[in-house]
Amino acid sequence: MRRNAVFCVAAGLIGFSAAAHPAAAHSSSPDQARITAGRLIYQQRCAACHGERGEGQAGWQQRDAQGELPPPPHGPKGHTWKHSDAMLYRIIRDGWRDPFNKTQRLTMPAFGQTLAPSEIQAVATYLKTLWTPQQRRFQREESRNQPFPPAAQ
Ligand code: HEC
């Protein structure tokens, strides 16, 4: 609680909203630019399925009538934070489907043809702002040996 209060004051002093961008206080400015770009990409390309604020679709843990898993949330309740940077990059570039889906199609579309490598990294970096500090720490560890590919940096 006290840490939050200090964080908010600090964030207020340097002029951005702590509530909207909790990761920002720990970010260098290149990351901040990436987050801003990533948020825009998210709104244009991802929000229709994953929700404006990454809340996912209702019943995302249950297979639907076609035997497919609906778009999951990206925030603390989802499991996006369990994937390394390399894996997040691959999911967004190549698309993804749960191997147990009853259909074969990629329910998570591939963005490798529509987003540049730096844009894929930007939108993945934006997703990190939706996680708790503990989740961010875990994911940073996971990414130590599985970073974004050099082409994206
Ligand atoms: C047409 C709907 C749709 C769009 C658009 C879409 N996704 Fe997805 N996404 C899905 C679905 C459905 C899944 C779950 C697939 C599964 O597990 O079967 C998913 C899964 C994911 C996952 C894996 C999450 C996890 O917990 O394992 C990530 C990361 C992701 N999407 C990121 C994105 C990003 C970033 C964008 C925009 C660039 C995007 N998605 C756009 C439908 C979509």
> Tens of pLDDT along 82-141?
999 999 999 999 999 999 999 999 999 999 999 999 999 999 999 999 999 999 999 999
Q: Is the CB of residue 88 below 6 angstroms from any atom belonging to ligand 1?
A: yes
Query: Who has greater pLDDT, 22 or 126?
Result: 126
Q: Is the CB of residue 122 below 6 angstroms from any atom belonging to ligand 1?
A: no
Q: In this structure, which topology does domain 28-152 adopt according to CATH? A: Cytochrome Bc1 Complex; Chain D, domain 2 (1.10.760)
Q: Is the CB of residue 50 below 6 angstroms from any atom belonging to ligand 1?
A: yes
Instruction: Measure the CA–CA gap between 138 and 81, rounded to whole angstroms.
Output: 8
Q: According to the model, what pLDDT value does residue 147 have?
A: 97
The protein residue whose alpha carbon is closest to atom 24 in ligand 1 is 80
Q: According to the model, what pLDDT value does residue 19 have?
A: 43
Distance 1 CA to ligand 1 centre (A): 33
Domain segments of the chain as ranges: 28-152
Averaged pLDDT, 63-72:
97
Averaged pLDDT, 11-40:
64
Residues 19-49: b if buried by 16+ CB within 10 A, e if exposed: eebbbbeebeeebbebbebbbebbeebbeee
